[in-house]
Each structure stands twice: as C-alpha cells, then as structure tokens.
Amino acid sequence: MGMLRAVGRGLAAGAAGTTALNAATYLDMAVRARPASEMPAKAIDLIADKADRPIPGEGAHQDNRREALGALMGIATGLGVGVVAGFAGPILTRLPPMMSGLLVGAGAMAASDVPMASLGLTDPERWTVPDWVSDAVPHAAYGVAVVATLRALRDRS
C-alpha cells in the first residue's frame, strides 16, 4: 500500500474513531451528569507556559481559546493515532476485529494519558474504577471505529 493511501485511510479511520470517542464521552457525561474533563485545557496552559507563549486574551476569551485548543489537541491526537493505525492496517486487519480494535484503543489511550501524566496533570495510580471506565470505554470505542473503518476501506479496494 502506498504511503499516501495509508495516510488517507488513517485520517479517515482516525476521524471515525475520534467521533466515536467523543460520542461515548458525551453519552457518559449525559448519563452520569459529570462535567467535561479539565485536563486538555490544563495541558494547553502547561504547554503554553513551557513555550513561553501565553494564551491570548483575558477572562472568558482566554478560557474559550484554552477549551478550543484543548479540543483541537484531542482531534489531532485522534487523527495521528489513526494515521499510525493506517500504516499498521495490513496487520490490524488480519487480527480478530475486537482484538485489533482494543489494541488501537489502548494505543490511543496511552497517546493521551501518558503525556498528561508526564505533565503531572494526572496520576493513573490514583484513579478510581469509574475514572478508568470513563477513560477506557471511549478509547475502546475509538479503536473499534478505527479498525472498522480500515476494514471497510480495505474491502473497497
């Protein structure tokens, strides 16, 4: 498979996975009436501080930019993991679908949680069972959607 084709398939799969992750996350928020995570916005603050590039604006304007940049960071992560999965597609599509989906989901979870832990924003050793579930289930949905999309695109060619 050509490099451009792998990137395109990965971007499509990553977009599908990101949509599935967001849907699962918002469903969890609606069912449990829990607030949105503050981690992405806090990560943006830390990254901006380390880069010596403050978030422009003040008050609500700055808060809105912080929230938007955090969401964009999540989308970029989802697309990036999707591209990696696109290159691994020939291997992933040979494994049982659920196994490959959970592997991709675990990779996506690591791609978001490891940097947050490295920045000191979270400590998975202190997470409760509901914390793990609210993180693992959406990432599993991401992985399953990524693999389903890669399989569908493979079947079309």
Rounded Cα distance, 107 and 122, in Å: 18
Q: How confident is the model at residue 10 (pLDDT cuts 50, 70, 90)?
A: very high
138, 60 in Cβ contact below 8 A? no
Task: For residues 151 and 12, give the distance between their C-alpha atoms in angstroms, rounded to a whole number.
Answer: 12
Q: For the chain, give every domain's residue range.
A: 3-37+74-156
Q: pLDDT for 107-128, tens place per residue?
A: 999 999 999 999 999 999 999 9
Instruction: Give the pLDDT confidence score for residue 157 in this predicted structure.
Output: 63
pLDDT exceeds 80 at position 156? no
Query: Residue 155: what pLDDT?
Result: 73
CB contact at 8 A, 65 and 55: yes
| CA-CA-CA-CA dihedral for 95, 98, 103, 108, to nearest 10 | 130
pTM to 2 decimals?
0.93
Reported as type and span, the H/E element at residue 129 is: helix 129-156
What whole-number percentage of the chain has pLDDT above 90? 92
